[in-house]
Amino acid sequence: MQRENYLIDMDGVLIHGNKMIPGADEFIQRLKKKGKKFLITTNNPSFTPGDLVHRLKTFGLNIEPEQIFTSAMAGMGILTMLSMAAVFLLCLWFLRDPRVLAHFRTVTHERR
């Protein structure tokens, strides 16, 4: 059985600036209707999947948080894969995504 899954870049493919790319809504609807699995991807780590679901909804695109894959999530995957005992992260976006944050224990001060 051949599986057909889709990775769809968000910016420039589904939306551009404050506008939806014409036909993006129909494309997503068609994937849903056919039961195809897809992920909306973005290289912008500033927003959580929840933020992006809300943003896409303003364009009429109804996407579930589980259908969003951000670069923050990819970063988490790399850190997990490297099995590092301790990582010093100097970035706020990591701390905004509960799905990413769930994989780490954070400290807000220097441990001695």
Helix (H) or strand (E) holding 61: none
Joined together, the tokens standing for residue 16 give 């551009």
What is the rounded distance in angstroms from the CA atom of residue 99 to the CA atom of residue 82?
18
Question: What 8-state DSSP symbol labels residue 95?
Answer: G
Q: Annotated catalytic, 51?
A: no
Among 6, 11, 23, 84, binds Mg ion (CB under 5 A): 11
Residue 11: CB minimum distance to Mg ion, A: 4
Catalytic annotation, pick one of 9, 25, 51, 97: 9
Q: At a CB cut-off of 8 Å and minimum separation 6, what does 21 contact?
A: 12, 13, 14, 15
Q: Is residue 12 involved in binding Mg ion (CB under 5 A)? A: yes
Q: Annotated catalytic, 9?
A: yes
Considering only the C-alpha atoms of the chain, give the largest distance between any 2 of them, rounded to a whole number of Å.
Answer: 56
Residue 41: CB minimum distance to Mg ion, A: 8
Comparing CB distances to Mg ion, the nearer of 9 and 66 is 9
Binding-residue total with Mg ion (CB under 5 A): 3
Catalytic residue positions, numbered: 9, 11
Contact residues for Mg ion (CB under 5 A)?
A: 9, 11-12
